[in-house]
Structure 1
């Protein structure tokens, strides 16, 4: 290899800097490969001492009023959207080489995610998570019915966030939530996106490099399962909880480090579904509407999000269900073309779908496994994970029959017709589902609602009680 070739190879390596407690760290000490595309990127070596905030020091945000924190988050959101923000533009440029989604989709998703940094939204989150938000700002006096007095505080925790790589929106929400609970935060970035969190933190530092939020944040990357790093950081001496997003392997890897004083708050792998009643076949107009709404749920973040529907249980005879499948495929293909994301399916998924096309008696297949959208009709859910604009429509005689396939991994259920939802919500909750919405509304959610069957901010904090008085005799 000559000098020119060597230079070109070096330039092909994407640089991913770290951010450690207010300081940008840039170097290319360690090379890695991205999860989805196998692209090489380089990072600094982790300074483990710098990544840990000593317990002998109170968290920097502890005595910063919540109102001031929210104001700073709002200003950060405004700066993230500014066209002259070099950090976000650089982030999108670099993600274009490592992320499975096209740059246009990633950039649009990030811009939509910034809408979360709105004063009304952030306050609603806090108020829904805490019966008395004053507990975040100080010690709240309590007195029980015996007259015994105490003080309670939602104390600033020390959190490790294991971020997913499927959506920049999680980075925005994580930095906001970590700030509002006044945590010391260490963000482990994904190999699919080792850029967004650092871009957010650099934007904050440009506003005020000495702000306590900036000093409370660190963002680094290491390969998941790297025992040399994790056996040092995943300890109760340094952190209270690990907030983990991601697939089963990522969650299982974290679990082995749990123990007294080191807890897991898990946003573990979820699969979302749709349930479409026979009312969809009342007319061609209702069928077209139901198929369009269902396609919106399937194509949420081009089916990369947990809320994206993968299995659609449709109530009716095969002829009617096939009509639904035809319309659904048309709308998925249209949405795929509009997004510019026409990635081919991976080899295993392509082979499984191609096998089904040869089994005419048991399956119907609309489209081809070419990344432009495919719909599979079956009488039971397929035994593989539909992804990349792949929808499995399961024909059922009654929506009652669909309930048996709901379990604790079922996150969102998009439902049609809307007036039948109350009749199913208790049974869906009993099966393990965590959310039921109108078909077509899997993406948006009511501000402050539980996420994955919990109120996250309430789980994040370290609840501390100060007992201050014996009950009178």
Structure 2
């Protein structure tokens, strides 16, 4: 018997299921019963008619329960994640200490108001009296049936998923990611604790199977069971989901993204300004040890090579610092990537490298962006004569752009948006995408629900 094997808990319609019938090497799961993971369309979902106000009260109670952790469920998820996941303990401790924050009442109200215009459209039919034809109409954000392919790069993704899913009042199957097997089950255990056998609790299931397993997904990913696949993750995940799409089953995609920084010449006005910019840039570059989509991997700095080299040296030193959102030392640079960087370093002075390969943070200054994906606390800094020259480096795969100083944003943002960029922040402000504002270019609640309308008089 493998005593190091970690057992992953499944949640089936609010009920905890344990077991180790299915082994995946370092962890094991209960046997999948696919019939139990779907809700028949012949009957409404458990929470379809539950008032939103009641759901909000439960979510707020869940957030408080998670923060207090009276049964040690969050602590257990933390320990399992440290053993089985890629993130170091300090980052996971910070993430789990804040796992209850998305369940804040003010944040939830903000989401509903900004994304849907109010809760009335979730609870019933909103009257539309001023149609151009004069024919009255009513619309409703109807509860959906969703399967969520959840990302595992940070525990907060599961928390966001549960909040958004609960507010839609639909039924939800969460496919657990192999790099975060424990957060979603812990959240749903908490939901069962604060609202035992409540319709909302019975509206959630969470289970693991290998991504792309046709024997599972070929059965579940069908319109007779679900309306939409909500997919986070890399290109392979998105492409795998796409092949199941067709009439009645659509995709809501949080596409794979990368992020960049645009840093103006103003940082060289003084040593203090340069140090401040380097600290802000290091925070963005190391966010969740660069596992977050909002973490900056390419930084374009306006200035001469000599000036930019001063910035690079400071940036690397500030990357080698412990933060709640990053560790001073991460994973060592993999061998193949190390060989590529070592080859680049031979091109000095056209290319220059700061830092080392042992996870302390590495900065590469080059005339053009490198042709590999900087990862694991690696940042590519590119000198530019003007920030205008860097705009063309952004595209539809660019999520967040950090800009410094802030007064430069107004002149850049429309052109960045035209390139496909979805989010602008001040340099150092990449963490914590505000729920209720657009995420990856759309409002999630608007996309999750099924919009239904009724035209004509009612009598």
User: TM-score, length-normalised on structure 2?
Assistant: 0.97
1: CA distance, partners of 2:31 / 2:381: 47
Kindly report which structure 2 residues correspond to 1:173-188, keeping only aligned pairs within 5 A, or say none.
Answer: 173-188=160-175
2: CA distance, partners of 1:416 / 1:214: 45
What is the match of residue 267 of structure 1? 254
Root mean square deviation, CA, Å: 1.6
Which among 270, 287, 292 is matched to residue 305 of structure 1?
292
Report the CA distance shift for 1:341/1:169 in structure 2 as closer, same or farther (over 3 A).
farther
Show structure 1 runs of 5+ residues with no match: 1-6, 34-39
Which among 33, 37, 43 is matched to residue 51 of structure 1?
37
Report the CA distance shift for 1:24/1:83 in structure 2 as closer, same or farther (over 3 A).
closer
2: CA distance, partners of 1:141 / 1:412: 37
Q: Deviations over 1:157-203 (max 9, x none)?
A: 00000011111000001001000011200000101111110111111
Structure 2 counterpart SS, 1:56:
coil
Q: Does 1:295 align with 2:295?
A: no
Q: Does 1:13 align with 2:10?
A: no
What is the match of residue 62 of structure 2? 76
Which among 323, 334, 338 is matched to residue 346 of structure 1?
334
Q: Deviations over 1:28-51 (max 9, x none)?
A: 111114xxxxxx100012111110
Q: Deviations over 1:214-256 (max 9, x none)?
A: 1000000010110000110111110000110001100011011
Pairwise CA distance, 1:414: 0.2
Show structure 2 runs of 5+ residues with no match: none
Pairwise CA distance, 1:133: 2.6
Structure 2 counterpart SS, 1:110:
helix
What is the match of residue 283 of structure 1? 270
Contact 1:363–1:378 under 8 Å retained in 2 = yes
Which among 386, 395, 398 is matched to residue 407 of structure 1?
395
1: CA distance, partners of 2:323 / 2:202: 42
What is the match of residue 112 of structure 1? 98
Tell me whether 241-250 or 381-390 shows the greater mean CA deviation.
381-390
What is the match of residue 348 of structure 2? 360
Report the CA distance shift for 1:229/1:446 in structure 2 as closer, same or farther (over 3 A).
closer
Q: Deviations over 1:5-56 (max 9, x none)?
A: xx4xx211110011000211111111114xxxxxx10001211111000111
2: CA distance, partners of 1:23 / 1:447: 28
Q: Does 1:226 align with 2:218?
A: no
1: CA distance, partners of 2:99 / 2:292: 13
Pairwise CA distance, 1:85: 3.0
Report the CA distance shift for 1:335/1:380 in structure 2 as closer, same or farther (over 3 A).
farther
Pairwise CA distance, 1:355: 1.7
Structure 2 counterpart SS, 1:238:
coil
What is the match of residue 404 of structure 2? 416
What is the match of residue 161 of structure 1? 148
2: CA distance, partners of 1:163 / 1:447: 17
Q: Does 1:209 align with 2:201?
A: no
1: CA distance, partners of 2:321 / 2:196: 45
Tell me whether 358-367 or 301-310 shows the greater mean CA deviation.
358-367
